[in-house]
C-alpha cells in the first residue's frame, strides 16, 4: 500500500478528486496518509477532516522557509509517505525539501507548461489570446513549475469563454490528469530520459 501525502493551501478540489479516486480504486493500492496545509482556513483541511483523514495545519505565516519546510518534512516522514502531491500549495519549496524526496513530489499547474508558469496561469493564457490551454502534472524540481512532465491535458479556448469559464474547464481536466499521473508514478513503469518521461512496458504487455 503506497502512502500519499498532500500539501495544499486552499479549497482542495484536486485533493478531493484524488481522495475520490483512491476510494473508488482508480488509484489502486494507495492511501492518503496525511493532508498538510500551511493555512488554517484552507477548505482542503475541512474536506480532509470530513473524510476522516489525518489533517495537519503547519502555519507558515511569519516563519522562515527552512524552519517551516523542516516541520513539513518531519510530518511527511512521520507518516512514511512514498509520494507527495502539491495540490494548490501556495508556497515555494526550499531546495532542501525538494532534495529530501527526489522524483517523489508532483505538482499540478493550470496551463500547458512551459507556457504561463507562476500565478494565475489561466488568466495569463486567456489574456494572451491562446486558442488552446490546459493543465500539466509534473515532477517538482528546484525551479518553479519546471520539472519533467507526466501528463498534460489540452482545453480549447472558446470565443464565448471568459477567464472563469476557461479556468473551470481546465479544472475538470486537472481532476482527471492528477490521478492519471499518480497512478503512473505509483506503478513505476516509466523512466525519465533527460526531461522526457517515457513509459516502459514489460515483455508480457507488448
Residues recognised as catalytic:
109
Assess 134 for contact with ligand GRF (CB under 6 A). no
Assess 13 for contact with ligand GRF (CB under 6 A). yes
List own/partner pairs for 63-68 with CB under 8 A and 24 or more apart: 65/91, 65/92, 65/94, 66/94, 66/96, 68/38
Assess 138 for contact with ligand GRF (CB under 6 A). no
Cβ 170 to ligand GRF, closest distance in Å?
A: 7
User: Which of the ranges 58-66, 71-79, 105-113, 185-193 carries the binding residues for ligand GRF, by CB under 6 A?
Assistant: 105-113
156 is written with which cell numbers?
480549447
Cβ 71 to ligand GRF, closest distance in Å?
A: 21
Count how many Cα atoms sit within 13 Å of the Cα of residue 25 in the half-sphere of its side chain: 0
| Residues linked to residue 137 through DSSP beta bridges, in sequence order | 108, 151
Assess 110 for contact with ligand GRF (CB under 6 A). yes
Burial 116-135 (b: 16+ CB within 10 A, else e): beeeebbbbbbeeebeebbb
* DSSP conformational letter for 157: P
Toward ligand GRF, which CB reaches closer, 94 or 136? 136
- Rule CB under 6 A: choose which of 2, 6, 7, 10 binds ligand GRF: 10
Assess 146 for contact with ligand GRF (CB under 6 A). no
Residues that bind ligand GRF (CB under 6 A): 8, 10-14, 87-88, 108-110, 171, 174
Amino acid at each position: 500500500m503506497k502512502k500519499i501525502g498532500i500539501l495544499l493551501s486552499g479549497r482542495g478540489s484536486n485533493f478531493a478528486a484524488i481522495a475520490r479516486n483512491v476510494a473508488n480504486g482508480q488509484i489502486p493500492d494507495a492511501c492518503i496518509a496525511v493532508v498538510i496545509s500551511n493555512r488554517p482556513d484552507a477548505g482542503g483541511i475541512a474536506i480532509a477532516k470530513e473524510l476522516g483523514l489525518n489533517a495537519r495545519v503547519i502555519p507558515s505565516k511569519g516563519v522562515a522557509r527552512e524552519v517551516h519546510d523542516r516541520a513539513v518534512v518531519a510530518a511527511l516522514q512521520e507518516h512514511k509517505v512514498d509520494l507527495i502531491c502539491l495540490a494548490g500549495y501556495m508556497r515555494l519549496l526550499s531546495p532542501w525539501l525538494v532534495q529530501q524526496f527526489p522524483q517523489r513530489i508532483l505538482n499540478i499547474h493550470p496551463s500547458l507548461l512551459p507556457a504561463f508558469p507562476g500565478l494565475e496561469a489561466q488568466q495569463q493564457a486567456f489574456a494572451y489570446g491562446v486558442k488552446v490551454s490546459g493543465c500539466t502534472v509534473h515532477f517538482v524540481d528546484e525551479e518553479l513549475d519546471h520539472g519533467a512532465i507526466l501528463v498534460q491535458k489540452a482545453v480549447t479556448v472558446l470565443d464565448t469563454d471568459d477567464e472563469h469559464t476557461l479556468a473551470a474547464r481546465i479544472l475538470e481536466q486537472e481532476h482527471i490528469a492528477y490521478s492519471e499521473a499518480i497512478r503512473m508514478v505509483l506503478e513505476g513503469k516509466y523512466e525519465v530520459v533527460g526531461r522526457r518521461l517515457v513509459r516502459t512496458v514489460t515483455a508480457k504487455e507488448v
